[in-house]
A = this chain, B = another copy of it.
Amino acid sequence: MQLEHMIYMDHAATTPTDERVADAMEPWVREQYGNPSTLYTIGGHAARAIEEARATIADFLGAHPEEIFFTSGGTESDNWALKGAADAHRKRGRHLITTTIEHHAVIDTMEFLEKRDYEVTRVPVDSRGIVDPEDIRKALREDTILVSVMHANNEVGSIQPIAEISELIKDSGALFHTDAVQSVGKIPVDVDQLGVNLLSLSGHKIYGPKGVGALFIRKRTRITPLLHGGGQERRRRAGTQNVPGIIGVAKAIELAAETRDGEAERERALVARMWMGLQERIPDMALNGPEDPSLRLPGMINFRVEGIEGEAMILCLDMNRVGVSSGSACTTGSLDPSHVLLAMGIPAELAHGSLRISLGRDNTETDVDYFVDVFAPVVKRLRDMSPVYDK
């Protein structure tokens, strides 16, 4: 396990836990074990710490503390937002709108709702992976109760025009949810500026812990609980709170608040350097996602390499101690290539041959140059092996 030598470039999959986050969590794992729902002193400590964490997160998102609810992660937040809103407003309507490039936590939940008497419209995206707000507006119906559009896509990094969409749909009576799991901490996320009723975030994408996240629920938004039971989270999300996790996600947000803008600039420069290097060394490859870096998450780049397949690239890169992901099917255990790349109109064989690099705080220019140096021969080797590439 020579982790110290690993070059990790898959921050969109998960991030290393920041040491300061781990340090902040540790007392709540070890000494401060009180259940926040209890009345005695250590229970009170935990309860107070949770409320401070809630305030930190609310502040960062431009929300009120009473609008932040802790969950077990982005997936639960998405499931809760969608199922909870669908259930609470089912008498008013049964129509839901989303896009073709959502995370599976939204896609699969929408599919489930479809089987339970809801109707779902999936709005397509352009070749950059961006949805047209007008298309959302056109999809609206009398009985539309919820619109869910992700803030930034997790495969190509394309940033969606959330504020424009909310402007167009605000009079429709439909709730507006955004999955901001990838954008929080990387680009500005303000619930009022975005104009959303519901917003999902996750700890482990922002140098925080796995298994904890939050759902922003704007005041007066009706949504049915997903987890029923004890009175935690003001009776809206039952279950003994993951105290260390909550402390950790708040600490992660605090650190993101300090470093976000500078880090974004730094990562954009690293990505530009990498892309330049790759283009110099490797023929027959192209970018997936917006050319304009301001329409993309700062540290993210996704590209397709003709004639080879994604998992093989990942394995070869791992042999070179580089960790990245692919837009290829194989990473998810399904046989189909990335639904995001297909939705952008990229042919299946090129979608299979795509790679996602997502840089983070720990990456340097040296890492980027190393990546280019090892990736070029990897491509050559796999193309030599390939029956379909003979340029």
Give the contacts of A94-110 with B (CB-CB under 8 A).
103-109
* Contact flags A48-83 to B (C-beta < 8 A → 1, else 0): 000000000000000000000001111110110000
* Contact flags A35-59 to B (C-beta < 8 A → 1, else 0): 1011111110100000000000000
Chain B residues within an 8 Å CB radius of A324:
40
Give the contacts of A174-222 with B (CB-CB under 8 A).
202, 204, 209-212
Residue of B108, B209, B318, B333 near A238 (CB, 8 A) is B108
* Contact flags A306-331 to B (C-beta < 8 A → 1, else 0): 00000100110110011111100011
Give the nearest-CB partner of A230 in chain B. Answer: B104
- Asked if A72 meets B79 with Cβ closer than 8 Å, knowing A33-B14, A228-B112, A242-B210, the reply is no
- Bound: A196/B72 CA distance, A: 27
Minimum CB–CB distance from A364 to chain B (whole Å) comes to 18
Q: Give A contacts to B, CB under 8 Å.
A: 1, 3, 6, 8, 10, 13-17, 19, 22, 25-26, 29-35, 37-43, 45, 71-76, 78-79, 103-109, 111-112, 202, 204, 209-212, 224-231, 238-245, 311, 314-315, 317-318, 321-326, 330-334
Q: Which 10 A-B pairs have the closest CB atoms?
A: A211-B242, A72-B72, A105-B229, A75-B239, A108-B228, A40-B318, A14-B35, A40-B323, A13-B35, A109-B228
Q: A22-B30, A204-B240 are in contact. List 16 more A-B contacts (CB 8 A).
A: A1-B42, A14-B33, A14-B34, A22-B26, A29-B209, A39-B318, A41-B323, A43-B323, A72-B73, A72-B211, A75-B240, A104-B231, A108-B228, A112-B224, A242-B242, A245-B245
